[in-house]
C-alpha cells in the first residue's frame, strides 16, 4: 500500500488559539494518528489574545528581500528558493528568511524526532519542549509576532525536499504557504514518520500583510512542474471519500467578497472533470477553509508532463473578473 503522507497546516496569532474572522477562514479538526494519538489541526485567522481585534492592514507585494543565509547546497535553501519562486511567479510576493523562525522550525522538528510524535503541538515535560503551539515557539525564539503559520509534511525517506514543496502547494487547504505573511523559517530532517519539511511563517507585530489588490491564482500563467496527482492532506478535502486522489488544485484569492461563478480546465484530451469547487455561493468546503476571499477548484487527477488551460470567472471587490492561464504538470 502506498504510504500516505499527512500534510498539516496551521495559522495562529498570539498565544491563544482564538479565531474571530478574517478572509482566510477558520478551521479546527481532530484526527487519530497511526499510534492512537490525537493530531489536532487548526487553520484560521486568529487575532489578539482572545478578543476581537481588527485584521492587520494590507500593503503592496514584496518584490525584494535580503539574501538568505541557508547553506547554498542545503535542502532548506532549495525549499526557500523554490517556494519564493512559485509565490513570485503568481504575484503572492516574496518571503524573507528569519533566523528566529528557523530556530522555531528546527526546535519543533527536533521535538517530533525525539518524541516519536506527529502534529503541530508539543506537550510540556516532553524532551526538547519549546512551546505548545507554533506561536509559543516563535515567541520563545524571540519573534514578536502578530501572526504565525506552520506547515508540516513528512515524506518517505526516498523523497527529496522538492517533492515536499510540490506536495504542500498541491494541497487545497495549505493556504498558509500562499498567505500574505512576510517572514519564513525552514527545517528539513528525519522524524519517526519520514523526512519532514517544517515551514514556519510569520508576520511581525508591527508589520502588515502583503496584498496584491486583485485576484490571484495558484497555479498561474507559466507555472510548471506542479503535481499531476496527489492525496496528501490532513484533513482531506473529500471527507466522504476514502483515499481520495485529486489533481493540482487551483487556489483563487481575492477580496472578502470574492465569488467564483464558473471554472474550467482543458487539456489535450478536452475538458477536465472538476472534482469540487469550494467557495462562497458554491459548494461549501467541508473543512471550512475555502470561503471569505478564497475559492478552491479541485480537478480529478491530471496527466503528467502536460499543459492545461484554466479559465476562472466571477466577481471580486464589486467588479467582474475573468482569468485564463496555462500551467504544466511535472513528471509525477
Report the pLDDT value the prediction gives residue 9, as an integer from 0 to 100. 63
- Which pTM value belongs to this model? 0.85
Report whether pLDDT(10) > 80: no
C-alpha 137/C-alpha 289 separation (Å) is 24
pLDDT band at 34 (very low <50, low <70, confident <90, very high): very low
**What is the rounded average pLDDT for all residues in the chain?**
85
Q: Where are the domains of the chain?
A: 8-210, 216-329
- pLDDT tens digits for 152-161? 999 999 999 9
Superfamily per CATH, domain 8-210: CAP (3.40.33.10)
Residue 298 sits at the vertex; the CA angle it makes with 319 and 329, to the nearest 5 degrees, is 105
N- to C-terminal Cα separation, the chain: 18
Would you call 229 exposed, middle or buried from its count of C-beta atoms within 10 A (0-12, 13-18, 19+)? middle
Asked if residues 254 and 318 have their Cβ atoms less than 8 Å apart, the reply is no
Per residue in 220-256, pLDDT tens?
A: 999 999 999 998 787 889 988 888 999 999 999 999 9
- The whole-angstrom separation of Cα 32 and Cα 124 is 20
Q: What is the pLDDT of residue 8?
A: 64
Angle in degrees, 0-180, between the axes of helices 75-89 and 161-169, rounded to the nearest 10 = 30
In 3D, which of 71, 62, 22 has the Cα closest to residue 183? 62
CATH 2.60.40.3780 describes domain 216-329: yes
Amino acid at each position: 500500500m502506498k504510504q500516505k503522507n499527512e500534510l498539516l497546516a496551521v495559522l495562529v496569532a498570539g498565544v491563544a488559539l482564538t479565531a474571530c474572522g478574517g478572509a482566510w477562514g477558520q478551521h479546527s479538526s481532530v484526527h487519530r494518528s497511526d499510534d492512537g494519538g490525537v493530531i489536532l489541526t487548526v487553520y484560521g485567522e486568529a487575532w489578539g489574545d482572545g478578543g476581537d481585534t481588527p485584521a492587520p492592514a494590507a500593503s503592496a507585494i514584496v518584490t525584494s528581500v535580503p539574501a538568505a543565509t541557508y547553506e547554498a547546497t542545503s535542502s532548506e535553501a532549495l525549499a526557500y528558493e523554490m517556494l519564493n519562486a512559485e509565490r513570485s511567479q503568481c504575484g503572492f510576493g516574496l518571503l524573507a528568511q528569519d533566523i528566529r523562525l528557523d530556530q522555531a522550525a528546527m526546535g519543533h522538528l527536533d521535538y517530533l524526532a525525539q518524541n516519536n510524535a506527529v502534529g503541530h503541538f508539543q506537550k510540556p515535560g516532553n524532551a526538547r519542549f519549546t512551546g505548545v503551539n507554533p506561536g509559543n515557539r516563535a515567541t520563545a525564539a524571540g519573534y514578536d509576532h502578530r501572526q504565525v503559520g506552520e506547515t508540516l509534511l513528512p515524506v518517505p525517506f526516498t523523497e527529496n525536499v522538492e517533492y515536499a514543496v510540490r506536495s504542500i502547494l498541491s494541497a487545497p487547504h495549505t493556504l498558509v504557504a500562499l498567505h500574505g505573511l512576510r517572514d519564513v523559517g525552514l527545517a528539513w530532517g528525519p522524524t519517526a514518520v519520514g523526512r519532514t519539511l517544517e515551514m514556519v511563517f510569520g508576520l511581525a507585530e508591527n508589520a502588515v500583510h502583503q496584498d496584491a489588490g486583485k485576484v490571484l491564482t495558484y497555479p498561474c500563467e507559466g507555472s510548471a512542474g506542479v503535481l499531476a496527482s496527489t492525496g496528501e492532506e490532513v484533513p482531506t478535502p473529500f471527507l466522504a471519500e476514502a483515499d481520495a486522489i485529486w489533481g493540482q488544485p487551483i487556489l483563487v484569492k481575492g477580496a472578502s467578497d470574492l465569488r467564483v461563478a464558473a471554472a474550467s480546465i482543458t487539456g489535450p484530451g478536452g475538458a477536465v472533470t472538476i472534482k469540487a469547487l469550494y467557495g462562497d455561493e458554491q459548494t461549501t468546503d467541508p473543512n471550512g477553509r475555502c470561503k471569505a476571499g478564497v475559492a478552491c477548484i479541485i480537478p480529478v487527477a491530471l496527466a503528467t508532463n502536460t499543459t492545461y488551460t484554466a479559465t476562472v470567472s466571477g466577481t471580486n471587490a464589486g467588479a467582474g473578473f475573468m482569468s485564463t492561464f496555462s500551467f504544466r504538470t511535472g513528471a509525477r
